[in-house]
Amino acid sequence: MDRSRRNFCLGAGAATVGAATLAAVPAGAAAPGKDGEAAHRWAMVVDVRKCVGCQACTVACIMENDVPENSFRTIVSTYEVTEQGKSGTYMLPRLCNHCEEPPCIPVCPTGATFQRRDGIVVVDNTVCVGCAYCVQACPYDARFINHESQTADKCTFCVHRVDAGLLPACVETCVGGARIFGDLNDPASAVSKLVREQDPKVLKPDQGTQPRVFYIGLDPKFQGKVDGTPTLWRPSEHTAHAPAGKEHA
């Protein structure tokens, strides 16, 4: 990462105040419960109505996970929308959906991509050979080949932070409170309540992947392929496999 980009990220990430924590979540989040099932099933709810497109989440992720230049584990795609002669912008935060049925796993020839008991999908880059089969299999354009490690890369819900009882960096840094993270197995968690009460939507439900990233206030036109080009803030046109550089959600 060059110095100018790192300095920009440091400045933009200054909104983070302290380290927010997950309520009553011990380290070792992947440990099984008493009934043999996972003690937790982590998920995220994104309230699109609260997203202001500031990209604080994107910058926080870059800094927390040392994401290489022009690649992104999460990003807010910003679209210019014109309806009935009026123009406006639409913000769509995007990341790995940590699906219940992740299509990236069965295509991996080495087993580098796998799902933890708590639902978080991760990549073992000591085993990954960089074949990019998983990149092609992901219907959400959420994966890329890290040009430094030459292995598959993606959002992990900041698994190292979650295991320590902390929130993912993007959630902690979101200035509008648009990202909510928690345990679907806990009926009292904010995530569980929002999923029950707000009838959130998921991206590309026709894929049958059962995403565990839910959207409140999602315009149905943005659930599938978007006919248009992301505007304002986006990666270089010359970057391969950057998740927000494509023209669909």
Instruction: Considering only residues 167 and 231, tell me which one the structure prediction assigns the higher pLDDT.
Output: 167
As given in the structure block, the two tokens for residue 36 are 């043999």
Q: Which amino acid is present at 48?
A: V
Tens digits of residue pLDDT in 47-96 = 999 999 999 999 999 999 999 998 999 999 988 888 777 888 889 999 99
The Cα 104–Cα 115 span in angstroms is 10
- Among 23-27, 57-61, 136-140, 184-188, name the one with the lowest average pLDDT: 23-27
Tens digits of residue pLDDT in 11-25 = 443 333 345 555 433
- Give the CA distances from residue 17 to residues 52, 158, 175, in Å, rounded to whole numbers and listed in that order: 19, 17, 10
- Tell me, which fold does domain 36-81+88-98+155-222 have in CATH? Alpha-Beta Plaits (3.30.70)
The set of residues, in sequence order, having a beta carbon less than 8 Å from that of 165 and lying 6+ positions away, is 21, 22, 25, 26, 27
The Cα 210–Cα 201 span in angstroms is 11
The Cα 105–Cα 128 span in angstroms is 12
Select the highest-mean-pLDDT range: 26-30, 37-41, 81-85, 235-239: 37-41
Instruction: Give the other-Cβ count within 10 Å of 174's Cβ.
Output: 26
Per-residue pLDDT, averaged over 37-54, amounts to 93
Res 1 pLDDT > 60? no
CA-based nearest residue to 125, from 111, 138, 135: 111
> How many residues make up the chain in this entry?
249
Task: Please give the pLDDT value at position 33.
Answer: 41
φ/ψ of 20, rounded to 5, equals -65, 155
Tens digits of residue pLDDT in 215-227 = 999 999 899 876 6
Task: Please give the pLDDT value at position 95.
Answer: 98
Task: Please give the pLDDT value at position 229.
Answer: 58
Pair 70, 58: CB distance under 8 Å: no
Of the pLDDT bands very low, low, confident and very high (cuts 50, 70, 90), residue 28 is very low
Per-residue pLDDT, averaged over 104-123, amounts to 98
Pairing of strands 151-153, 144-146: antiparallel
Task: Please give the pLDDT value at position 36.
Answer: 54
As given in the structure block, the two tokens for residue 105 are 């796993």
Res 239 pLDDT > 70? no
Task: Please give the pLDDT value at position 231.
Answer: 53
How do the domains of the chain map onto residue ranges? 36-81+88-98+155-222
Task: Please give the pLDDT value at position 37.
Answer: 65
- Among 73-82, 153-162, 193-202, name the one with the lowest average pLDDT: 73-82
